[in-house]
């Protein structure tokens, strides 16, 4: 599980509590499972930010008052549908096996794609396995395909519509993507079971294979939920839509982009009640404290291409400055990497609400760290302390600033020929309080320093800033499609139904036989990555990136890697949550 089992005391206890929190965010971000235990404990134990002399103002602040209004809990919202039976889904062994077999079959169909797949209308053969996948869905969910309208968008995109009885109500939309990342052939012998076997181990109830966690599980869960509701005779007042893209792993330019445009054209802007797509789940912090953390916003992204154009020649006679165009490019790269972006405390970052919940309910959390979290809102001094601690942790650092990573570099064609040009591409994930424009301006400022130092011209997005010199020109331009940071979804009455449904599935489903003395909180959080929801912002403000899975290192370390796996019980719980949510919205918001 997420929480460490060992009970430490004094310094050991301090280490465990801080590391546990870092690991929790690690599972959220689905990054590497490397624990920086010694480093974290050192930060907390020796950092003078934490152990310095307290001021009178510090002593006057009562932590109990500061945490009083943080992270309020809510009561479960239980559907009253006459045929409602959550116990027939969550914890039901027969249903778990049935759901697992359906997911297993979906995994067996290899729908992996590369970085730049062709448009379906240009090369439908590339997408042949997706057509097989469509046939499988029709076979496994007969009622859905009999009762619902299915429209194919851009040949491969799937848009299901379950017409509600009240056309004045905004439809609710559920998303997932059909595609999966490829399997590296060099790793085939490292898989416990073949990557596309969809092997279901009934003994430990684990389903293995590419797409088990990202995200055929969610796609199958959404269809299975509707199949169950149809079997029970449910008739929705509010229209229900399913939208399944097919190239999310290559930015959704053919799938989600086409589907969202189609919905905007047919329904109009702000026409949806809510959207649920892939995202975070819930985690066990201690034996008595669990937390769910739906993602309410995402960082933005922009790739920036930096090109140095100059003069070539024979390598036996290099430039007088001693720097070729590749060398000048290297100067820009080095300056940018050495400078980096500043940490930011943005109110648009949902991370702070998440940390408040941890500080309030995790009894094992180091008191010094708890103090820093809770006092950040009343003291810029403590706010800076918190940023300093988070920035020292691999799992947290990119949630509090714009990141940069140089991923492509190119220049030169021959060992004895000076390169006429050289370029590099840097990927930025944009902080919640920043923008594409600000990132480009910062990169331009870095390039300007090198241009002035070595007498080069400078241009931004084709506009000349410094005229070209005898040495050449440095060009800064966005590369590919840029995405601004996502608008944060409001915590309004729509969110309240969503949140209380999570409480219901947890207490009356997952923990129904063991809920005494359990604290369960629901807190928004943020994420550094992007989902297909980037194309749907104009359709609703209520976007929740969440699937009812228990996130733990055993599962998340397999994401986009070998031995991708999901617990069949968790898969059934996802179906249970979707079942609860559709019924609750139908009853309480229709």
Angle formed by the axes of helices 493-505 and 568-588, nearest 10°: 140
Place of tokens 């181990």: 201
Structure tokens at 405: 């990573």
Of the residues 43, 140, 179, 443, only one is catalytic, namely 179
214 is in an annotated binding site: yes
How many helices (H) and strands (E) are present in the chain, helices listed first?
18, 21
CA-based radius of gyration for the chain: 26
User: Is 43 an annotated catalytic residue?
Assistant: no
Exposure string for 128-152, b = 16+ CB within 10 A, e = fewer:
eebeebbebbeebbeebbeebeeee
Half-sphere exposure of 361 (CA within 13 A, CB side): 27
Q: How many CB atoms lie within 10 A of CB 57?
A: 11
Residue 487 DSSP symbol: P
Measure the CA–CA gap between 467 and 445, rounded to whole angstroms.
16
The H-assigned helical ranges of 511-559 are 553-556
571 is in an annotated binding site: no
Locate the DSSP E strands across 443-552. 457-460, 463-466, 473-478, 519-522, 525-527, 543-550
Question: CA 557, 560, 562, 565: dihedral to nearest 10 degrees?
Answer: 70
Contacts of 437 (CB under 8 A, 6+ apart): none
User: Is 155 an annotated catalytic residue?
Assistant: no
CB 558 within 8 A of CB 217: no
How long, in residues, is the chain?
A: 590
Measure the CA–CA gap between 190 and 494, rounded to whole angstroms.
45
Q: How far is CA 283 from CA 115, 291, 411, 558, in A?
A: 32, 6, 47, 17
Contacts 24+ apart (CB under 8 A), 454-460: 454/321, 454/323, 454/328, 454/331, 456/308, 456/310, 456/328
Of the residues 140, 222, 247, 248, only one is catalytic, namely 248
Q: What are phi and psi of 438, to 5 degrees?
A: -65, -35
277 is in an annotated binding site: yes
SS (H, E, C) 313-324: EECCCCCCCCCC
Which residues are known catalytic residues? 179, 248
Q: Pick out the residues of the known binding site for Zn(2+).
A: 177, 214, 249, 277, 560
Q: Pick out the residues of the known binding site.
A: 177, 214, 249, 277, 560
């Amino acid at each position: 599980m997420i929480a460490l089992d060992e009970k430490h005391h004094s310094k050991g206890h301090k280490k465990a509590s801080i590391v546990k929190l870092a690991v929790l965010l690690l599972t959220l971000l689905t990054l590497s499972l490397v624990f920086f235990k010694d480093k974290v404990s050192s930060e907390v134990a020796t950092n003078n930010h934490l152990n310095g002399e307290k001021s009178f103002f510090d002593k006057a602040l009562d932590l109990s008052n500061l945490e009083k209004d943080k992270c309020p809990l809510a009561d479960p919202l239980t559907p009253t549908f006459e045929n409602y039976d959550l116990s027939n889904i969550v914890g039901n062994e027969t249903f778990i096996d049935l759901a697992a077999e359906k997911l297993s079959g979906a995994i067996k169909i290899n729908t992996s794609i590369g970085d730049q797949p062709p448009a379906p209308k240009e090369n439908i053969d590339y997408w042949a396995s997706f057509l097989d996948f469509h046939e499988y869905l029709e076979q496994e969910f007969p009622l859905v395909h009999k009762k619902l309208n299915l429209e194919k968008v851009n040949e491969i995109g799937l848009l299901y519509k379950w017409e509600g009885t009240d056309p004045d109500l905004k439809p609710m939309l559920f998303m997932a993507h059909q595609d999966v990342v490829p399997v590296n052939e060099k790793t085939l012998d490292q898989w416990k079971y073949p990557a596309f076997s969809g092997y279901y181990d009934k003994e430990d109830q684990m389903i293995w294979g590419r797409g088990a966690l990202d995200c055929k599980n969610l796609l199958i869960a959404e269809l299975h939920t509707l199949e169950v509701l149809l079997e029970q005779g449910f008739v929705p007042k509010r229209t229900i839509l399913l939208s399944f893209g097919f190239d999310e792993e290559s930015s959704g330019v053919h799938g989600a982009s086409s589907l969202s445009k189609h919905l905007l054209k047919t329904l109009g802007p702000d026409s949806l009640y809510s959207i649920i797509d892939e995202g975070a789940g819930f985690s066990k912090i201690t034996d008595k404290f669990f937390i769910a953390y739906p993602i309410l916003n995402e960082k933005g992204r922009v790739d920036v291409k930096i090109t140095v154009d100059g003069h070539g020649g024979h390598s036996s006679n290099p430039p007088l400055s001693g720097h070729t165009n590749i060398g000048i490019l290297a100067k820009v790269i080095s300056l940018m990497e050495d400078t980096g972006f500043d940490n930011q405390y943005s109110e648009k970052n949902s991370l702070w609400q998440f940390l408040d919940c941890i500080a309030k309910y995790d009894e094992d959390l180091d008191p010094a760290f708890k103090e820093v979290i809770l006092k950040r809102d009343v003291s810029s001094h403590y706010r800076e302390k918190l940023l300093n601690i988070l920035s020292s942790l691999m799992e947290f650092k990119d949630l509090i600033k714009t990141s940069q990573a140089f991923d492509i570099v190119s220049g030169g064609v021959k060992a004895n020929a000076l390169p006429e040009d050289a370029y590099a591409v840097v990927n930025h994930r944009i902080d919640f309080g920043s923008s594409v424009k600000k990132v480009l301006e910062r990169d331009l400022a870095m390039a300007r320093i090198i241009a002035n130092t070595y007498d080069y011209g400078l241009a931004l997005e084709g506009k000349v800033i410094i005229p070209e010199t005898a040495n050449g020109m440095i060009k800064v331009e966005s590369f590919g499609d840029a995405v601004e940071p996502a608008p944060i979804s409001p915590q309004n009455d729509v969110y309240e139904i969503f949140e209380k449904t999570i409480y219901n599935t947890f207490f009356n489903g997952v923990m129904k036989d063991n809920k005494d003395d359990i604290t369960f909180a629901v807190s928004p959080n943020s994420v550094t990555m992007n989902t297909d929801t980037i194309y749907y912002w104009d359709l609703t403000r209520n976007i929740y990136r969440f699937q009812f899975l228990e996130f733990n290192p055993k599962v998340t370390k397999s994401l986009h890697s070998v031995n991708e796996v999901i617990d069949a019980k968790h898969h059934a719980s996802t179906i249970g949550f979707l079942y609860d949510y559709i019924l609750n919205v139908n009853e309480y918001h229709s």
